[in-house]
Amino acid sequence: MRSLAVVTKRELSGYFTTPVAWIFLIIFVALSGILTFYAGDFFGRGQADLQSFFLFHPWLYVFLISAVSMRMWAEERRSGTIELLMTLPLSTADLVLGKFFAAWIFVGAGLVLTCPIWWTVNYLGSPDNGVILMSYLASFLIAGTFLSVGSCLSACTKSQIVAFVLTMMACILLTFLGSDALTNAFSGMATEKMLKLLNSFGFLVHYLSITRGVLDLRDIVFFTSFDAVFLFATVIVLERKKAA
Amino acid sequence: MIALENVTRKFGSFTAVDDLSMSVPKGQVLGFLGPNGAGKTTTMRMISGYLSPTSGKITVCGFDVLENPVEVKKRIGYMPEGAPSYADMTPLGFLDFIAEARGLDGSAKERALDRVIGEISLSSVLYQPIDTLSKGYKRRVGLAQALIHDPDVLILDEPTEGLDPNQKREIRSLIHRIKESKAIVISTHVLEEVEALCSRVVIIDKGKIVLDDTPTALLAMSSAHQTVYVAVPDFQRDRVSALFEEMQQVSVIEDHPDSKGTHLYALKPETAESVVADLVEALRLQNVKICDLYVEKGRLEEVFYAFTSSEKDVSKGEK
What residues of A are in contact with residue B86 (Cβ under 8 Å)? 14, 81
Asked if residue B308 is part of any domain, the answer here is no
Q: Is the dihedral of CA A138, A140, A142, A148 positive or negative?
A: negative
B78 plus B189 within the same structural domain: yes
Instruction: Kindly report the nearest CA distance between residue B51 and chain A, in angstroms.
Output: 5
Confidence band for B18, pLDDT divided at 50, 70 and 90:
very high
Mean pLDDT calculated for residue range B183-210: 89
Furthest-apart CA atoms within chain B: distance in Å? 77
Structural domain range at position A166: 2-243
Amino acid symbol at A127: P
Instruction: Kindly report the nearest CA distance between residue A77 and chain B, in angstroms.
Output: 11
Distance CA A54, CA A210 (A): 11
Instruction: Kindly report the nearest CA distance between residue A135 and chain B, in angstroms.
Output: 35
Asked if residue B310 is part of any domain, the answer here is no
B177 plus B252 within the same structural domain: no
Q: Enumerate the β-bridge partners of residue B29.
A: B184
Among candidates B126, B128, B100, B125, which has minimal Cα distance to B112?
A: B100
User: Which residues, numbered 133 to 192 in chain A, qualify as contacts with chain B under a Cβ-Cβ cut-off of 8 Å?
Assistant: none
Distance CA B233, CA A166 (A): 77
**Total domains, chain B:** 2
What residues of B are in contact with residue A80 (Cβ under 8 Å)? 80-82, 84
B178 plus B277 within the same structural domain: no
Q: Is the dihedral of CA B265, B268, B274, B277 positive or negative?
A: negative
In this model, does residue B183 exceed pLDDT 50?
A: yes
CB A231 within 8 A of CB A4: no
B276 plus B240 within the same structural domain: yes
What residues of A are in contact with residue B103 (Cβ under 8 Å)? 2, 89
Asked if residue B306 is part of any domain, the answer here is no
pLDDT (0 to 100) of residue B310: 59
Q: At what angle do helices A203-211 and A217-243 cross, to 10 degrees?
A: 140
Closest Cβ opposite residue A14 in set B74, B81, B86 = B86
Instruction: Kindly report the nearest CA distance between residue B110 and chain A, in angstroms.
Output: 16
Distance CA B163, CA B140 (A): 10
Nearest CA in chain B to A81: B84
Mean pLDDT calculated for residue range B80-90: 91
B9 burial level (CB within 10 Å; 0-12, 13-18, 19+): buried
In this model, does residue B315 exceed pLDDT 50?
A: no
Residue B168: C-alpha distances to residues A65, B23, B139, B214 (Å): 45, 27, 11, 21
Distance CA A148, CA A129 (A): 29
B15 plus B51 within the same structural domain: yes
Residue A242: C-alpha distances to residues A183, B9, B51, B89 (Å): 40, 11, 5, 26
In this model, does residue B317 exceed pLDDT 70?
A: no
B199 plus B251 within the same structural domain: no
B264 plus B286 within the same structural domain: yes
B91 plus B129 within the same structural domain: yes
Q: Is B132 helix (H, G, I), strand (E, B) or coil?
A: helix
Closest Cβ opposite residue B82 in set A14, A80, A91 = A80
Among candidates B234, B203, B219, B245, which has minimal Cα distance to B297?
A: B219
Distance CA B30, CA B53 (A): 21
ipTM: 0.87
Q: Is B199 helix (H, G, I), strand (E, B) or coil?
A: coil
B58 DSSP 8-state letter = E
Q: Does A14 contact B76 at a Cβ distance shorter than 8 Å?
A: no
B24 plus B173 within the same structural domain: yes
Mutation for B interface: A76, A88, A158, most B CBs within 10 A: A88
CATH of the domain at B167: 3.40.50.300
Distance CA B247, CA B240 (A): 11
Instruction: Kindly report the nearest CA distance between residue B46 and chain A, in angstroms.
Output: 9
Mutation for B interface: A1, A10, A15, A239, most B CBs within 10 A: A10
Closest Cβ opposite residue A88 in set B71, B73, B86 = B73
B103 DSSP 8-state letter = T
pLDDT tens profile A131-176: 899 999 999 999 999 999 999 999 999 999 999 999 999 999 888 8
Closest Cβ opposite residue A87 in set B73, B81, B87 = B73
Q: Does A87 contact B48 at a Cβ distance shorter than 8 Å?
A: yes
- Tell me if chain B has a CB within 8 Å of the CB of A79: yes
Among candidates A88, A73, A80, which has minimal Cα distance to A4?
A: A88
Burial annotation B256-270 (CB, 10 A radius, 16+ → b, else e): eebeeebbbbbbbbe
Which residues of B lie closer than 8 Å to A, measured between beta carbons? 11, 45, 48-52, 54, 70-71, 73-74, 76, 78, 80-82, 84-89, 93, 97-98, 100-103, 129, 145
B31 plus B116 within the same structural domain: yes
pLDDT tens profile A193-243: 777 777 777 888 888 888 888 888 888 899 999 999 999 999 999 999 888
Asked if residue B312 is part of any domain, the answer here is no
Mean pLDDT calculated for residue range B112-135: 92
Neighbours of A201 (CB within 10 A): 14
Residue B296: C-alpha distances to residues A108, A122, B225, B299 (Å): 69, 89, 6, 8
For a pLDDT cut of 90, what percent of chain B falls above it? 47
Instruction: Kindly report the nearest CA distance between residue A129 and chain B, in angstroms.
Output: 40
What residues of A are in contact with residue B93 (Cβ under 8 Å)? 13
For residue A72, give every residue at least 6 positions away whose Cβ sits within 8 Å of its Cβ, in sequence order, or none.
Answer: A99, A103, A150, A151, A154, A155, A163
**Total domains, chain A:** 1
pLDDT (0 to 100) of residue B273: 73
Structural domain range at position B122: 2-221
Asked if residue B305 is part of any domain, the answer here is no
Mean pLDDT calculated for residue range A13-20: 84
B236 plus B138 within the same structural domain: no
Asked if residue B303 is part of any domain, the answer here is no
Q: Please spell the DSSP secondary structure of B204-241, one letter per residue.
A: EETTEEEEEE-HHHHHHHSTTTT-EEEEEEGGGHHHHH
Please give the sequence-ordered ranges of beta strands (E in DSSP) within B12-127, or none if there are none.
14-24, 29-33, 55-60, 63-64, 76-79
pLDDT tens profile A44-58: 777 777 888 888 889
Whole-structure pTM value: 0.86
Mutation for A interface: B100, B139, B154, most A CBs within 10 A: B100
CATH of the domain at B272: 3.30.70.2250
Residue B131: C-alpha distances to residues A91, A156, A186, B80, B245 (Å): 28, 26, 50, 17, 63
Number of CB pairs, chain A paired with chain B, less than 8 A apart: 68
Asked if residue B210 is part of any domain, the answer here is yes
B35 plus B130 within the same structural domain: yes
CB A149 within 8 A of CB A171: yes
Q: Does B84 contact A79 at a Cβ distance shorter than 8 Å?
A: yes
